[in-house]
Amino acid sequence: MRAAVLLRPGAIELQDVPVPAPPPGGLVVRVRTALTDGTDFKAFRRGHPRMPMPTPFGHEFSGDVAAGDSNGFSAGDAVMCVHTAPCGQCYWCQRNQEELCETIMPTMILGAYAEYIAIPERIVKRNCYAKPSDLSYATAAFLEPLSCVVHSLDLLNCRADDTVLIIGDGGFGLLHAMLLRQSGATVVLAGRREARLKIARDLGIDTINARSRNIGEEVRKRTRDRGADVVIECTGREEVWEAAPDLARRGGTVSFFGGLPADAKALFTASRLHYDEIRLVSPFHFTPAAVKRARDLLVEKKIDPLPLITQTVPLAEIATVFERLKNGEGIKFAVTP
Ligand SMILES: [Zn+2]
């Protein structure tokens, strides 16, 4: 089969590799749709602390079971799943912090930009669902990014009367905006790419173009000078991390959703954090409960993420697609191996 390998930052190669065999208690899935994603793009651009290279590439997908018989799934079943599952046994799992499970990252599977992917038993058991026939493979492939956003919002407990500033107009910023709006919160999305901001506005989301407007001034205008109740950083850039607390109101919350490179540091004004009681949270990954709720949102059609797909392309174009993303084109691409 053909499978994309990220050799090093900036270098994707399509290789001929053997079709995987089902792991014990696991499945092999024929990938029908894999989505490009901000995490993959960061790995492509600058490397990733959790992704030693060369590495199989891609982790948002849906498809059909090709081999294996596990947990009620067998050949021919359409499935939607994520690329990790917690162990359920370790210190963190026992304390309902399954997203921090000590083996969740070492056991993650990568390689969705390929014709087939092997799913270990632990993922089949915890984080794999049947894909209903009336849900497209592309929509089902949003299960993983949506799980991240559901978990992120779990840590925030936003109120319906909150004004939430989201910084970053990529897929994660837009998914946060779409989901938050359902809770009734007032959402403002700040970004620098007009084409992406237009997609947000078409969905009825208020936007700030940070190239032509000052985010702080625009937020104060919308909040009687207070600042945002909640600020969600979705860019993964140090300067945005550092600017975020000053955009929150006294007693507000800042969420650092976009991870930084392994050696990055961010500087904050201590008096602002302490005397204005700014709460900082840093959501990472997701729990099986978040995956389940993301699944419900998609299956019950409470959220339609398809406007975030820029184009559907064959696997052969995977390297070109990441070059296009690097050139600032598009949001998410759907790859159909
Ligand atoms: Zn664990």
The CATH T-level fold of domain 2-147+285-336 is Quinone Oxidoreductase; Chain A, domain 1 (3.90.180)
Distance 233 CA to ligand 1 centre (A): 27
Contact present, 29 and 19 (Cβ < 8 Å): no
Per-residue pLDDT for 209 more than 80?
A: yes
Tokens of 116: 């087939």
Q: How confident is the model at residue 330 (pLDDT cuts 50, 70, 90)?
A: very high
Which of 33-37, 49-53, 168-172 shows the lowest mean pLDDT across its residues? 49-53
Any bridge partners for residue 336, and if so which? 314
**Coil vs helix vs strand at 252:** strand
Per-residue pLDDT for 51 more than 90?
A: no
What does CATH list as the number for 156-281?
3.40.50.720
Distance 95 CA to ligand 1 centre (A): 10
Phi, psi of 202 (to 5 degrees): -60, -25
Distance 98 CA to ligand 1 centre (A): 6
Per-residue pLDDT for 104 more than 90?
A: yes
Q: What is the pLDDT of residue 271?
A: 96
Distance 91 CA to ligand 1 centre (A): 7
Q: Summarize pLDDT for 250-270 with one digit per residue, the tens.
A: 999 999 999 998 889 999 999
Q: Summarize pLDDT for 137-154 with one digit per residue, the tens.
A: 999 999 999 999 999 999
Contact present, 314 and 37 (Cβ < 8 Å): no
* Residue type (1 letter), 50: R
Q: Summarize pLDDT for 55-97 with one digit per residue, the tens.
A: 999 999 999 999 999 999 999 999 999 999 999 999 999 999 9
Distance 104 CA to ligand 1 centre (A): 7
Per-residue pLDDT for 49 more than 80?
A: no
The conformation of residue 54, written as its DSSP 8-state character, comes to S
Q: How confident is the model at residue 182 (pLDDT cuts 50, 70, 90)?
A: confident
Q: How confident is the model at residue 21 (pLDDT cuts 50, 70, 90)?
A: very high
For residues 214-234, average pLDDT: 98
Domain chopping of the chain, boundaries: 2-147+285-336, 156-281
Any bridge partners for residue 27, and if so which? 119
Answering whether pTM is above 0.85, one says yes
Per-residue pLDDT for 35 more than 80?
A: yes
